[in-house]
Amino acid sequence: MSDSRYLELLGETDLALLGRASGLGLDAAGFRAAPAAITTALSAEGTFASLFGPEAEPTVTGISPLLVFAVLVHRGAAEVATAGYVTERVSSQLVVPVFDSEQLAVFAADVQRRLFVVELLGSFTRVMSGPRWERRAGRWHRRRFSELDPVSLALLLRDSPGPERAGIYRRLGDLALFLSGVFGDHSARQTLSGVDVERLLRSIPESERAGVMAELDRVDALAPLLRALGPRWYRLAARTSIAPATVRGLATIAEEFDLARRFLVFVTNRYLFERRDRLFPWQPG
């Protein structure tokens, strides 16, 4: 199923490069006839070298960001399987080694989880932002909305009808995972006002708020708050979704949120960090 999904995500230029660089000799039509070959092509040493090696092809500018992410995620899955340890940021200035890379290797070995990470990264190459008007105390107020701001997204829940809430919860979970995994250095430095912390806490049931607070050393620090709320947002998305396959997928990522986050940290540290400005042309606050 994941191979067929890649056929939907990747364009003709992407597939042509995959066939050439991997040594499989397939074109787009060839991959459509044998979709299982896509995973082999994404994992091939020649594909990685063609995009990121010292003799990278000068004509790869026409490829999509999704191909870049797919190749890097597959490369990361292969490398984490042989890594002795991975690094973990415990504060804005302190990074420590963690010797449990085997758990990440198991996570990344699953094709559906790799595809989830690829699509997550691709979904943040463009973000929505702009003014938003909201009515409070009988008056209209202009507020800036950004899809990269979890507080902005959380406020959407207040005025959204039931059927739309699953999508907002899903995007909140995605944002928590993305910011803490790819831009962990930014979120580690960011603090929130008491009002914004309260707005985020109101996005989850009141019965769960005390549990979140108990997990935090500091209530105003964004990074640990995202790690605490992220899996809860995914669970809420699963509870409010009406698509059985989506429910199963979101419930799984809710349980494995920290593994997904740490795998993203691994891929970012190895490959994405120096490419973030190009792949994500905006910058988080």
pTM equals 0.90
Q: How far apart are CA 275 and CA 262, in angstroms?
A: 19
Provide the 8-state DSSP code for 11: -
Residue 141 is predicted with a pLDDT of 57
Three-state secondary structure of 156-222: HHHHCCHHHHHHHHHHHHHHHHHHHHCCHHHHHHCECCHHHHHHHHCCCCHHHHHHHHHHCCCCCEH
- Residue 46 is predicted with a pLDDT of 94
Element (H, E) at 134: strand 129-136
Q: Which residues contact 115 (CB under 8 A, 6 or more apart)?
A: 2, 5, 6
The two tokens of residue 94 are: 């302190």
Q: What is the pLDDT of residue 120?
A: 97
> Would you kindly state where each structural domain of the chain is located, as residue ranges?
2-123, 129-279
Q: Determine the pLDDT at residue 117.
A: 97
Q: What is the pLDDT of residue 144?
A: 67
* Number of C-beta neighbours around residue 277 at 10 A: 10
pLDDT tens-place values along the chain, 285 residues long:
678 899 999 999 999 999 999 999 999 999 999 999 999 999 999 999 999 887 665 545 678 999 999 999 999 999 999 887 787 766 556 677 777 789 999 999 999 999 999 999 999 998 776 556 565 556 655 666 678 999 999 998 988 888 889 999 999 999 999 999 999 988 988 999 999 999 999 999 999 999 999 999 888 999 999 999 999 999 999 999 988 888 999 999 999 999 999 999 999 999 998 888 888 977 665
In terms of phi and psi (left: phi > 0; alpha: psi -120 to 50; beta: otherwise), the region of 257 is alpha
Cβ neighbour number for residue 229 with a 10 Å cutoff: 25
Residue at 89: amino acid letter: R
Helix (H), strand (E) at residue 88: strand 86-89
What is the separation, in whole angstroms, between the first and last Cα of the chain? 37
User: Tokens 């979890």, residue?
Assistant: 150
